[in-house]
């Protein structure tokens, strides 16, 4: 009944097992493909070397970098130019990765072969997508199958999950029916807004399909049934819309999506509300659960609540992306961490940065220090209202601020293409004081999105935080490289690799 699909970046092959009802054709990597795998890297190296300074200068004057960056000696360094070039060459790099069988962005199919409606094809091409990513290629046929199939799917951050389930919802709705047919739940206001924006963009060539946001501040008229076919929202508000305001008839829902499904399941309040909604759905309603991370216990729970699911699961060592280079810096106290951050700015051309702190107090201290240094900084933490938070993220997405200092409120899902570095000013911890591996992965996943290169730098200020770092290394079986921020030359070399 259940289909397992494994992507194995380590052994460079993918495969499936235990197929019974649902059969999926996955690419077995042939021997010749190994040569192909070398090919794209080689091409990429070559193109990095062909950078000329005129190109770099043109990009610098385009205003992508932070102010204090421009007159630094690093500006003249060849290494730095190469790094910058590789960070901004997004589209070409994506093309290369999408032909690399070793990449989560690889696909053998085109969007046409996924049998999307013409309006949706227009939508994806209009968004600049040329080929589906691996998760889109594998998940879409299951999600579009008849009879509908349930799915629990895991794929690395920034590999196109949102686009995948948005396409599934848009494919399923019947625009002639003026009632809600698809529900999508996200854990935060900001994420719900972002998902809605993706759906609106993708669906813009089918103006009959309408979307509503069940988020705080939006209040429907009690008893007046919504005409919007798709509703995206947060669990509490969406529950009210179904149960209290009765503007959605749960019995008429044919697709139910949980984004960041692990947090929806692991957070008690979200879980209760999501399950209350889920219980009212018809038996044949398709259930789609997506996330980049699933702890084992959460995974087991998900399998219990989703009947006969198809499963797309990553091996632990595949969860971190190769495109994100991970480093740590040893510091003694917060001022020292701040100086290390300044050295990073001196050494790297940073388009936009996200910096995570453990407490609001630390975040606000850091934001004002960075401000004093002349950086354009936005501060995002839990005391802002959701509307204020959404406005801060929108400004950051538009590039009005180059640095976003935040606490965990922003660790999941937020998609800002130009984030080239994530700094863990404080390492993420769970309530028991252990390393919070899932949060770590979601945080660093704010960079390196859809094939872009990214850097994740962790500030280690005590033996305790060094221990957290080691736990993270062990959990993902990935080495995190030490950076000496006093040695700019060596640092440039390491960042360049
Ligand atoms: N097939 C595609 N071709 C090109 N770009 C794509 C494609 N699919 C998605 N993208 C882009 O890649 C970025 C990341 O996609 P998306 O937000 O869907 O990833 P995600 O897996 O949901 O990330 P997260 O785990 O952080 O929630 C977005 O900017 C999106 O527009």
Residue nearest to atom 10 of ligand 1 (CA): 160
What are the CA-CA distances from residue 67 to residues 60, 64, 419 (Å)? 10, 9, 16
Residues 62-85, mean pLDDT to the nearest whole number: 31
The Cα 136–Cα 122 span in angstroms is 16
| Helix, strand and coil percent figures for the chain, each rounded to 5 | 45, 15, 40
- What is the distance in A from the centroid of ligand 1 to the CA of 129? 10
Q: Is pLDDT above 60 for 355?
A: yes
- What is the distance in A from the centroid of ligand 1 to the CA of 248? 29
pTM: 0.70
Residues 223-249, mean pLDDT to the nearest whole number: 95
With bands split at pLDDT 50, 70 and 90, how would you rate the model's confidence at 29?
very low
Encode pLDDT of 122-155 as tens digits: 999 999 888 898 889 888 988 988 888 899 999 8
The Cα 459–Cα 454 span in angstroms is 17
- What is the distance in A from the centroid of ligand 1 to the CA of 158? 5
With bands split at pLDDT 50, 70 and 90, how would you rate the model's confidence at 496?
low
Q: Is pLDDT above 50 for 61?
A: no
Q: Is pLDDT above 70 for 11?
A: no
Backbone CA torsion sign across 462, 463, 464, 465: positive
Q: How far apart are the first and last CA of the chain?
A: 44
Q: Is pLDDT above 90 for 85?
A: no
Mutation choice for ligand 1 from 105, 113, 137, 162, CB with most ligand atoms inside 8 A: 162
What are the CA-CA distances from residue 472 to residues 100, 158, 438 (Å)? 28, 20, 9
Residues 425-449, mean pLDDT to the nearest whole number: 90
Contact status, residue 137 vs residue 161, Cβ threshold 8 Å? no
Angle at which helices 488-496 and 78-88 cross, to 10°: 40
Q: What is the pLDDT of residue 42?
A: 21
Query: Does the interface predicted TM-score (ipTM) exceed 0.85?
Result: yes
CB of 129 within 6 A of ligand 1: the answer is: yes
Q: What percent of the chain has pLDDT over 90?
A: 40
Give the best-scoring range by mean pLDDT among 64-78, 145-159, 178-192: 178-192
Q: What is the pLDDT of residue 66?
A: 30
Q: Is pLDDT above 70 for 220?
A: yes
Compute the mean pLDDT over every residue in the chain, rounded to the nearest whole number.
77
Q: What percent of the chain has pLDDT over 70?
A: 77
Atom of ligand 1 nearest to the CA of 136: 1
- Which residues have C-beta within 8 Å of that of residue 19, sequence separation ≥ 6? 3
Lowest mean pLDDT among 66-70, 151-155, 371-375: 66-70
Helices (H), 89-159: 90-98, 118-126, 134-144
CB of 134 within 6 A of ligand 1: the answer is: no
The Cα 54–Cα 69 span in angstroms is 17
Give the best-scoring range by mean pLDDT among 34-48, 282-296, 405-419: 282-296
Residues 69-91, mean pLDDT to the nearest whole number: 34
Encode pLDDT of 162-176 as tens digits: 999 999 999 999 999
């Amino acid at each position: 009944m259940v289909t397992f699909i494994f992507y194995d970046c380590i052994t460079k092959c993918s495969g499936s097992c235990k197929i019974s009802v649902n059969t999926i054709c996955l690419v077995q990597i042939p021997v010749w493909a190994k040569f192909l795998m070398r090919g794209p890297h080689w091409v990429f190296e070559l193109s990095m070397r062909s950078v000329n300074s005129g190109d770099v200068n043109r990009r610098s004057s385009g205003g992508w970098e932070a102010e204090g960056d421009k007159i630094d000696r690093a500006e003249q360094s060849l290494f730095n130019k190469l790094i910058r070039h590789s960070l901004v060459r997004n589209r070409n790099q994506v093309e290369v990765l999408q032909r690399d069988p070793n990449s989560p962005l690889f696909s053998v199919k085109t969007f046409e072969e996924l049998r999307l409606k013409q309006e949706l094809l227009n939508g994806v091409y209009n968004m600049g997508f040329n080929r589906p990513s691996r998760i889109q290629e594998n998940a879409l046929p299951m999600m579009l199958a008849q009879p509908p199939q349930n799915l629990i799917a895991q794929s690395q951050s920034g590999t196109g999950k949102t686009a995948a389930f948005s396409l599934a919802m848009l494919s399923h709705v019947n625009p002639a029916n003026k009632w809600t047919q698809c529900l999508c739940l996200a854990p935060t206001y900001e994420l719900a807004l972002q998902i809605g924006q993706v759906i609106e963009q993708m669906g813009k060539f089918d103006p009959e399909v309408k979307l509503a946001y069940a988020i705080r501040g939006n209040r429907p008229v009690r008893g007046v049934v919504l005409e919007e076919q798709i509703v995206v929202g947060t669990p509490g508000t969406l529950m009210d819309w179904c149960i209290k305001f009765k503007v959605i008839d749960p019995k008429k829902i044919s697709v139910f999506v949980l984004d960041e499904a692990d947090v929806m399941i692991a957070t008690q309040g979200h879980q209760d509300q999501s399950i209350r909604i889920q219980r009212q759905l018809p038996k044949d309603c398709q259930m789609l659960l997506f996330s980049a991370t699933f702890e084992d216990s959460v995974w087991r729970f998900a399998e219990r609540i989703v009947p006969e699911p198809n499963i797309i699961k990553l091996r632990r060592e595949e969860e971190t992306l190769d495109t994100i280079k991970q480093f740590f810096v040893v510091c003694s106290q917060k001022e020292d961490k701040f100086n290390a951050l300044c050295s990073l700015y001196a050494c790297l051309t940073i388009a936009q940065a996200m910096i995570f702190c453990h407490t609001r107090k630390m975040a606000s201290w850091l934001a004002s220090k960075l401000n004093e240094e002349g950086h354009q900084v936005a501060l995002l933490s839990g005391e802002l209202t959701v509307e204020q938070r959404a406005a801060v993220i929108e400004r950051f997405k538009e590039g009005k601020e180059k640095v976003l200092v935040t606490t965990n409120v922003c660790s999941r899902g937020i998609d800002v293409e130009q984030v080239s570095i994530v700094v863990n000013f404080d390492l993420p911890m769970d309530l028991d004081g252990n390393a919070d591996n899932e949060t770590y992965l979601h945080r660093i996943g704010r960079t390196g999105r859809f094939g872009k290169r990214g850097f994740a730098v962790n500030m280690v200020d005590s033996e305790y935080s060094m221990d957290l770092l080691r736990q993270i290394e062990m959990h993902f079986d990935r080495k995190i490289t030490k950076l000496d921020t006093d040695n700019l030359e060596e640092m440039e070399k390491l960042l360049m690799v």
